[in-house]
Amino acid sequence: MRVILIMLACALTCFGAGYSVDRLLHPAPPPPQDHYMAELNLSPEQREKIKAIWTDVSKNSGPAQREKREAAQKEFIEALQTLATPEQKPKLDVLVAEYRKKLDQISQDARKLRDEAIERTKAELNDEQRAAYDEIRKKRQEERTHESKTETPTLK
């Protein structure tokens, strides 16, 4: 049991160090509104309203989502620590399923916040700006799709 705990502590330390290095090498992109504010020719009032929409989303998605994910991971790790024998494999399977369900819910909540912010943003735009915004979003999605196809696959 002691060896398992030591290995788990090492794994968590490596995970934390890797995450920290990743954040340093790949800082979060600027908020979405910074990419398209100039292209949409927004009025000062529209800029402020859209900035408020996306500021609210970033408050509720970045650190908040990370904290929820870390809390779910902590619960999972603590549960694993109590499982040291092969006879407990069925219980471990249940815990893994619950863990994945929690992470899926966190991701769904983040997508919902983003989708709502997109709709609120569109409501602040005129028809011409809305069309340009949709085109910008489409282009960014295509770029992300292309990038994800060229990235090296990682183990999950």
Q: Which pLDDT value is given to residue 25?
A: 47
Q: Please, are residues 141 and 48 in contact by the beta-carbon 8 Å criterion? A: no
- Asked if 37 and 85 sit in the same domain, the reply is yes
In a domain? residue 7: yes
pLDDT of 67 above 90 = no
Q: Which pLDDT value is given to residue 146?
A: 73
Q: Which pLDDT value is given to residue 156?
A: 42
Q: Which pLDDT value is given to residue 35?
A: 63
- Asked if 111 and 39 sit in the same domain, the reply is yes
pLDDT of 101 above 60 = yes
Tens of pLDDT, residue by residue over 6-22, are: 655 555 565 555 555 45
- Asked if 11 and 41 sit in the same domain, the reply is no
Please, which pLDDT band fits residue 52 given cuts at 50, 70 and 90? confident
- Asked if 121 and 52 sit in the same domain, the reply is yes
Q: What is the largest CA-CA distance in the chain?
A: 65
- Asked if 42 and 76 sit in the same domain, the reply is yes
